[in-house]
Amino acid sequence: MAAVRTSSEIGFNRVAIVAVLLVTIIFLAPIYWIASTAFKPRNLATTIPPTVVFQPEISPFVKLFTKRSQLRSPPTPEEYAAAPWWERVVFDGGEKIVRDGKGQVQWSGYPSRFLNSLIIAITSTVLAVGMGTFTAYGFSRFKVKGEADLLFFILSTRMLPPVVVAIPMFLMYRAVGLNDTHVGLIILYTAFNLSFSVWLMKGFMDEIPKEYEEAALVDGYTRMEAFFKIVLPEAATGIAATAVFCFITAWNEYAFALIMTNRRAQTAPPFIPSQVGSGLPDWTVIAAGTFLFLLPVAIFTFLLRNHLLRGMSFGAIRK
């Protein structure tokens, strides 16, 4: 049977659609801005009024990945003809790619920073979610003495803006030699995400009926086996949601990365703004770096979107 809708309902619907579109545009505008700037020629990046229609080019990305220096004089036609296409776009911008004595192209700092970001964010996410899941399971299923106090204590680590402890942390890290190391940032991000992970996972664990494990226990499995075979698959949604949040936090973290690292373990967020190009800031390169930096989170979230949607509404309704 078709539902009958009144004209006022239809009107409200239209207004709602317009409002949703507007909000979407407002949220997506900066993303569009970054993405479009990443494909602009350098001279169009800062025009006023902004250039909307342009011939997209790949040069910002070439520049992002290579070490460059300013050309004193334009390249000779032979040099230009001999250069591969990706080197020509750099020549066109008035720069040249730096090569070592053997003629090998020198990479910029971006790829290693990007890799650092991946290593640190993924490892700390795995650790925080893994430990959080076990801890939450313990709190959820066993009588723990002083459970409420312990949980509050765990949460209390989030009650301070993290930057407040940046200086003491820096001094401590320097004392034990964790400055500018992957392990250092991994520990930091894991510790930071752990309380969040425990609380979120506790909510999910509480939602999984105890009877599932009990059935497995009676069916001949140990508690550990029951945990891995029954509880973990059931908690997948919660784990995915928690992992996305932990990953985003670790991936986007700026302040500690800026203070604690400078080269070896530096992540992308503090590196990208330092990429000012030769001479004036090259906004197209910064935009290209930012654009690539957005991709992993976007992909990760996209892949887990079904889990995430369920995860967000999970636990909202008590049976």
- Which residues lie near other proteins (CB under 8 A)? 209, 211-212, 214-222, 225, 229-230, 233-234, 236
Cβ nearer to other proteins, comparing 48 with 317: 317
Cβ nearer to other proteins, comparing 187 with 232: 232
Smallest distance, other proteins to C-beta of residue 230, A? 6
Smallest distance, other proteins to C-beta of residue 214, A? 5
Cβ nearer to other proteins, comparing 101 with 220: 220
Smallest distance, other proteins to C-beta of residue 316, A? 19
Smallest distance, other proteins to C-beta of residue 147, A? 15
Cβ nearer to other proteins, comparing 77 with 220: 220
Smallest distance, other proteins to C-beta of residue 225, A? 8
Cβ nearer to other proteins, comparing 149 with 214: 214
Smallest distance, other proteins to C-beta of residue 233, A? 4
Cβ nearer to other proteins, comparing 108 with 133: 133
Which residue, 22, 25, 58, is CA-closest to 42? 58
Residue 175 token pair:
């004392």
Distance of CA 206 to the CA centre of its chain: 28
Cβ nearer to other proteins, comparing 70 with 222: 222
Smallest distance, other proteins to C-beta of residue 239, A? 13
